């Protein structure tokens, strides 16, 4: 679909009609500066910022975000300046453009260092204004959609960077729609043969099971109606990259329990549990495939009930039950605040990040303790953007840690004082050594003694997180 200025205006008109004049001003400004430029596809360059703005408008982005999206390449690729953008628009738009703009004008010969600086700017911009990350994610999304016009080498490098940096960022802020599309495009470019094989299997499965899922949906719908429960349903199949990740764990294609799912959308939380009860009346659930993310949301604030049942013809079918509000958060994450809070969304996004998102605190900690840019990006990839585990405190709080983390890492993740006074640990009701490597869904209790002289220097070899290492070294230094 070719997006036009009129398409964008129509979108914005539906939720912010008074902002149209400012939007037109930004479009004209960007079009004037990019008038001599072409994309690799041969299209006028303005097509790119126009598409980025259009995607953001589907999230009901505020006008300053839309203007910044329209202008985000002006400073980097033309003679336009930040001062002029501030003069023509406002400081908010200037700061957003500045946050998104790469530091390509730095006099650096080391491309790896320059790349690390740019990535660091993107990552830590969350603390300044979360909208910068959102613009950057959508910018990368449109660039990935048009990656076919780049060289093979550029395709591979951009796809890898997307999987390593942009996909985790999208996941952490809960923007699942962006995350899913980014990782599947990247997967297609990085492993085209495997992608093709999985896609064929997936399409074959859809043909084989379409009637089964439609019948299942109809039966559940009829039972809901008999019980006065209103709901909407959506049939879904696991996407290619998610299937690939499952296959890497040596699970066979036909044994992936959530390959097919039916999303159930209801009005309120009470109806979610009623829907669950009724579904279990019809189909036998698999007990170890039940997840209540409403009672205990994921660390990116995702809420839903997941239950996998034995469906017709021995097919496993997952039901995902949530409210319409939960669905909006599941799709858009932090960006869903634009729907609810309009122009005050920026401040609420930032506050929510600080209060509820564990990864945000980890990023701030790493940024404050690691000076070297390449090392910073390396630690971010290893500690936050690689495969993580999720363990529980004694009160049921979910704690996110990198693979390989020990109970010492856990203790320091909870609080510095707990780490500094830890003398023992209980995992799943059994005493463990302090270098015990935690596994997914472990329940952890830390035993402390304020009079004990801990931590020890040898603890440094037993932790993997930068936070724990820094706190241990700080304690040792202060007590020498």
Active site (catalytic) residues: 76-77
CA distance 11 to 25: 16
Q: Do residues 363 and 130 make contact, with C-beta atoms less than 8 angstroms apart?
A: no
**In Å, what is the CA distance from 270 to each residue of 12, 87, 326, 330?**
34, 51, 13, 19
Q: Which distant-in-sequence residues (6+ apart) come within 8 Å of 67 by Cβ?
A: 22, 23, 25, 26, 89, 93
Tokens in use for 286? 């698999």
**Cis preceding-peptide flag for 65 (omega within 30 of 0):** no
**In Å, what is the CA distance from 440 to each residue of 64, 222, 427?**
41, 38, 12
Helix (H), strand (E) at residue 388: strand 388-392
CA distance 448 to 471: 16
CA distance 370 to 51: 36
Residue 89 Ramachandran class (φ > 0 left, ψ -120 to 50 alpha, else beta): alpha
Rounded to 5 degrees, what angle do the CA atoms 473, 475, 476 make?
65
């Amino acid at each position: 679909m070719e997006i036009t200025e009129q398409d964008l205006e129509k979108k914005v008109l539906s939720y912010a009609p008074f902002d149209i004049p400012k939007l037109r001003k930004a479009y004209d400004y960007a079009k004037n500066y990019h008038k001599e430029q072409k994309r690799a596809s041969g299209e006028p360059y303005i097509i790119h910022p126009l598409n980025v703005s259009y995607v953001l408008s589907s999230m009901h982005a505020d006008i300053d975000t839309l203007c910044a999206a329209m202008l985000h390449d002006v400073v980097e690729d033309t003679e336009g300046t930040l001062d002029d953008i501030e003069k023509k628009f406002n400081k908010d738009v200037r700061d957003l453009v500045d946050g998104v703009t790469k530091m390509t004008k730095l006099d650096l010969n080391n491309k790896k260092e320059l790349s690390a600086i740019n990535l660091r700017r993107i990552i830590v911009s969350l603390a300044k204004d979360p909208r910068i990350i959102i613009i950057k994610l959508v910018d990368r999304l449109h660039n990935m959609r048009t990656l076919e016009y780049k060289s093979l080498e550029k395709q591979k490098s951009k796809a890898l960077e997307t999987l390593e940096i942009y996909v985790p960022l999208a996941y952490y802020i809960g923007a699942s729609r962006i995350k899913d599309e980014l990782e599947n495009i990247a997967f297609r470019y990085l492993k085209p043969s495997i992608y093709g094989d999985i896609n064929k299997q997936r399409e074959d499965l859809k043909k084989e099971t379409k009637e089964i899922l439609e019948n299942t949906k109809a039966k559940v719908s009829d039972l809901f109606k008999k019980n006065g429960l209103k709901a909407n349903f959506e049939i879904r199949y696991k996407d290619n990259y998610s299937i690939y990740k499952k296959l890497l764990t040596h699970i066979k294609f036909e044994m992936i329990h959530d390959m097919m799912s039916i999303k159930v959308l209801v009005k309120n939380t009470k109806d979610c549990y009623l829907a669950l009860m009724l579904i279990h009346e019809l189909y036998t659930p698999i007990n170890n495939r039940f997840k209540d993310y409403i009672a205990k949301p994921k660390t990116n604030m995702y809420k839903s009930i997941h239950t996998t049942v034995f469906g017709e013809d021995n097919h496993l079918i997952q039901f995902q039950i949530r409210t319409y509000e939960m669905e909006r958060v599941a799709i858009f994450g932090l960006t869903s605040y634009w729907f609810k809070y309009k122009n005050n969304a920026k401040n609420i996004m930032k506050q929510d990040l600080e209060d509820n998102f564990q990864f945000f605190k980890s990023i701030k900690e790493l940024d404050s303790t690691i000076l070297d840019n390449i090392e910073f990006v390396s630690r971010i990839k290893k500690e936050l953007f690689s495969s993580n585990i999720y363990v529980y405190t004694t009160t049921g709080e979910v704690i996110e840690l990198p693979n390989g983390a020990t109970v010492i890492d856990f203790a320091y993740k909870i609080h510095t004082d707990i780490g500094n006074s830890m003398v023992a640990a209980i995992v799943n009701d059994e005493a463990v050594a302090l270098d015990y490597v935690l596994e997914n869904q472990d329940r952890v209790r830390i035993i402390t003694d304020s009079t004990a002289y801990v931590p020890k220097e040898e603890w440094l070899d037993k932790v993997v997180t930068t936070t724990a290492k820094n706190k241990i070294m700080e304690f040792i230094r202060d007590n020498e």
